[in-house]
Amino acid sequence: MAIRVTQNMLNNNMLRNLHQSMRHMDKLQEQLSSGKKVSRPSDDPVVATRGMFYRSSLMEVEQYQRNVDDAESWVELTDKTLDEVGNVMQRISELLVYSGDGALSSSDLQAMAQEVAQLKEHLGTLANQQLNGKYIFGGSATNIAPYNPAAPTVSGGVGDFTSTNSEEVNLEVSQNVFVGININAQNVFNYPNNAGNMFNVLDQILNTLNAGKSAASFGTAIKDQFDNLLSERAILGAKANRIELVKDRLSVQEVNVTGLMSKNEDADSAKVITELKSQENVHRAALGAGARIIQPTLLDFLR
Amino acid sequence: MRSTFHGLEVSKRGLFAQQSALNTTGHNISNANTEGYTRQRANMQATTGIPYPGMFANVEPGLLGTGVNVVSLQRLREDFLDVQYRNEHKRQGYWDGRLETLEKLEGIMNEPSDTGLQKVMDQMWQSWQDLAKDPTNTSARAVVRERSKAFADTLNSTYKHLEEVQRDLNNVIGVKAMEINSLGEQIASLNRQIADVVPHGYVPNDLYDQRDVLLDKLSKLVEIRTTPGASGTVNVTIEGRDFVNGAQSQPVATQQNANGLFDLTIAGAAFIPTTGYMAGVYESRSQIVPNLMHRLDVLAVNLTKEINDLHRQGVSLNDIKNGTAQDLPFFVDASTPAGGKDYPKGAGTIRIHPDILGSLDAIAAGQPEPGGNTAGNNKNALAIAAIKFTVIQPGPGPMDLKESSSLDDYYRYTIGQLGIDTQEAKRNLQNSEMIVGTIDNHRQSISGVSIDDEMAELVKFQHAYSASARMMTSIDEILDKVINGMGRVGL
């Protein structure tokens, strides 16, 4: 059957075509202005949900990076503090060797005791090292000073490491990967036990020196403490290494996820502009054709 | 034997017939843009001839033509296309109704974006991680509280929006029922007018047109079937139930059910629309929106249960200070009495526990330690942050997940499903629109008025009219000759 074409049909068809082409242009324009291929789940459900997943992943990575940064600064400060503790030990061993010199008078030894007392106090300060208001050597009791300058020691002095908390504080640095940010301070400041820890040894040295005697015999005890400190620092170094590795991995992951996200949902602007341009041409042609088709009827030629 | 004035009569008939054809053409042109107008044609037929025996030939008499008559004004329409059109029109209406709702829901869910629920949830999990870094820090606690509040608020407001959409849709059902009734009454009234004139031999073409337009409109709203009745009337059923019967129409009524929503009845019998715009809206209200609400409920209930269970076992700063375990749930239901511990029952009623709103120190970041609880313990914060990845096991309960997945996945799946449904509705609507357009083009091709056509007809009939008039003049001249010019020899 030959189709009989009426003006209304032409009108309706043209309007339908124009609407369709406008809709297409609108979509392209939206893509261009938002830079995204999809703006609603129905544009492409797969891309949309994947986009949600990547956004979520990106936020996770960012959070893990923040956690790693915190862990890093915590470990760095711990390492610096332990280095300082090492320096104090160094100085004390020097003093101990020096005190073995028989030519020293008891007042010389007492002056030496003065310095040891100062060093002990410094050590106490180091044990109470804080990061953002938290005691880094207090285990999980980060709000309680682990070293109490007023606490009596077994050897009769005052100022002891009173914390007994050896809880590890962990941070999540990747999904289900935890890094302990603190070291077990008991292994450093209460080594080998509370009665024989470095503050007790220092008190004993103080007593000895104050009594005008050589304290050279404590050399082994201090060396012991120093060796222990070094092994703890080695553990800390391993931890710092691990954090560094995680940090590198996270930055690679960030780049990956960002790339995937962009690939998944970013509009290819060159492609979109080209499509828009060609759609514009189609639209122009449709308008032009419409203007030509709709206008004349037989009426126009019968005048 | 013909009469003397036979020629005048033949010409007169020609004039009348051509004029009525011209009038029909004029009627067509006038209605070129009338919705639902069907072009009409004046069917002409030669009138019965009279015997005309030859004067000289001894043969059977011939038949002398007596002119022309318009026997009918025919509506050029094909019923089959109407059936096709209405069948597809209801499908278009159905997808239209669904798509409207689904697009609204997409807008409400607002995913993927930087302001949707996903982002709010992510930020909430982040805040627990930040609290884990610094469990004694008040500002980290404040962030946990604010982000959790944002999560609860977002769920509350999304839920409220969905309830509004549902109420809106319910109103639409009421309005559309009225529209259906109005169409039914108009069809019945046209049936009456038609039945009044048809028995007298009239063909009320324009009334038929009007009725067909109403039927077209009705077909978009509900599933209808039409059967021809007596005297040119048409009977209509909706979902197989009598709707219009001759000059009578049954009202489609809405009745509020126990949930405060409308149920539909026709002549007192309940029915559920299966297709058409009405069905699209009905399904949106009774299935699509409630399904989404239910999924949000499941998300809210499971997520808050996970957090609450952990939070109750945790140790807060208040617990450490007071030496007692408070056993506080983090989220409670809005209906919980003061001091109660009811878990949230849905997305619309999730709230933060008032004690936590009252004191940041009530947030339990730590877990109990054997050697006494300490403020720097962050294990509970870490455990809560890990809920993001926890795979929840399915269960038989109404609020249980039906497949094991993390809550993040569950939410993403919800959005994905919404996207797929919307996409489907969009595609089907476009297809239906195209099919309806094609069928309508076919219909227009047969019934539509073409100005070109009509102008050609105009010229044709005008010339035929002029020729008939010319014929009349010729006869006149002949008769003049006979009457005034003959037998005057010698006068």
- Specify the pLDDT at position B55: 64
User: Is B376 close to A142, i.e. CB distance below 8 A?
Assistant: yes
Name the burial class of residue A210, with classes exposed (0-12), middle (13-18) and buried (19+) by CB atoms within 10 angstroms of its CB.
middle
Read off the pLDDT band of B95 (50, 70, 90): very high
For residue B37, being part of any structural domain is answered with: yes
pTM of the model: 0.87
Q: What is the mean pLDDT of chain B?
A: 93
- Specify the pLDDT at position B232: 93
- Tell me: do B305 and B392 sit in the same domain: yes
- Specify the pLDDT at position B49: 87
- Tell me: do B365 and B316 sit in the same domain: yes
- Tell me: do B400 and B462 sit in the same domain: no
Number of independent structural domains in chain B: 2
Tokens of A33: 């202005």
For residue B39, being part of any structural domain is answered with: yes
Surface of B (75-114) touching A: CB under 8 A: 102-103, 106, 109, 111-112, 114
- Tell me: do B48 and B143 sit in the same domain: no
Task: Give pLDDT tens digits for A219-228.
Answer: 899 999 999 9
Residues of chain A with C-beta less than 8 angstroms from the C-beta of B102: 42
Task: Give pLDDT tens digits for B274-331.
Answer: 999 999 999 999 999 999 999 999 999 999 999 999 999 999 999 999 988 889 999 9
- Tell me: do B476 and B329 sit in the same domain: no
For residue B327, being part of any structural domain is answered with: yes
Structural domain including B318 reads 131-161+295-417
Task: Give pLDDT tens digits for B133-161.
Answer: 999 999 999 999 999 999 999 999 999 99
- Specify the pLDDT at position B56: 65
Q: How distant is the Cα of B161 from the closest Cα of chain A, in angstroms?
A: 18
Whether the per-residue pLDDT at A13 is higher than 90: the answer is no
**Whole-angstrom distance, CA of residue B70 vs CA of residue B24:** 11
Q: Where are the beta strands (DSSP E) in chain A?
A: 130-131, 134-135, 147-152, 158-161, 170-174, 177-180
- Tell me: do B302 and B384 sit in the same domain: yes
Q: Which helix (H) or strand (E) holds A128?
A: none
Q: Which of B390, B417, B444 is the last residue of a domain?
A: B417
Read off the pLDDT band of B112 (50, 70, 90): confident
Residues of chain A with C-beta less than 8 angstroms from the C-beta of B389: 175-176
Tokens of A118: 């100062």
Whether the per-residue pLDDT at A1 is higher than 60: the answer is no
Place of tokens 């962990």: A170
For residue B369, being part of any structural domain is answered with: yes
Whether the per-residue pLDDT at A297 is higher than 70: the answer is no
Q: Which of B417, B435, B469 is the last residue of a domain?
A: B417
Residue A192, preceding peptide bond in cis (omega within 30° of 0): yes
For residue B404, being part of any structural domain is answered with: yes
DSSP A281-300: HHHHHHHHHHHHHHS--HHH
Name the burial class of residue A156, with classes exposed (0-12), middle (13-18) and buried (19+) by CB atoms within 10 angstroms of its CB.
exposed
Q: Which helix (H) or strand (E) holds B253?
A: strand B252-256
User: Is B134 close to A41, i.e. CB distance below 8 A?
Assistant: no
Helix (H, G, I), strand (E, B) or coil at A191: coil
- Tell me: do B299 and B404 sit in the same domain: yes
The mean pLDDT value for A99-127 works out to 90
Task: Choose the mutation target among A16, A63, A134, A163 for the interface with B, i.e. most B CBs under 10 Å.
Answer: A63
Interior angle at CA B359, CA B332 and CA B355, nearest 5: 30
- Specify the pLDDT at position B192: 97
What residue ranges define each of the domains in chain A, with the CATH number in brackets?
77-259 (1.20.1330.10)
**Whole-angstrom distance, CA of residue A302 vs CA of residue B458:** 11
For residue B70, being part of any structural domain is answered with: yes
- Tell me: do B304 and B402 sit in the same domain: yes
Tokens of B283: 């399904």
User: Is B451 close to A176, i.e. CB distance below 8 A?
Assistant: no
Whether the per-residue pLDDT at B21 is higher than 70: the answer is yes
- Tell me: do B400 and B469 sit in the same domain: no
- Tell me: do B412 and B458 sit in the same domain: no
Cβ-nearest to A42 among B382, B422, B437:
B422
Q: How distant is the Cα of B342 from the closest Cα of chain A, in angstroms?
A: 30
Helix (H, G, I), strand (E, B) or coil at A189: helix
- Specify the pLDDT at position A62: 94
Tokens of B374: 């300490």
Looking at chain B, the whole-number percentage of residues with pLDDT higher than 90 is 85
Q: Which of B394, B417, B440 is the last residue of a domain?
A: B417
- Tell me: do B65 and B155 sit in the same domain: no
- Specify the pLDDT at position B57: 58
Read off the pLDDT band of B51 (50, 70, 90): confident
**Whole-angstrom distance, CA of residue A287 vs CA of residue A166:** 80
Task: Give pLDDT tens digits for B329-349.
Answer: 999 999 999 888 999 999 999
Dihedral sign for Cα atoms in the order B30, B32, B35, B39: positive
For residue B443, being part of any structural domain is answered with: no
- Tell me: do B410 and B465 sit in the same domain: no
Task: Give pLDDT tens digits for B394-435.
Answer: 999 999 999 999 999 999 999 999 999 999 999 999 999 999
Surface of B (165-194) touching A: CB under 8 A: none
Task: Give pLDDT tens digits for A184-201.
Answer: 999 999 888 888 888 999
Q: How distant is the Cα of B101 from the closest Cα of chain A, in angstroms?
A: 13
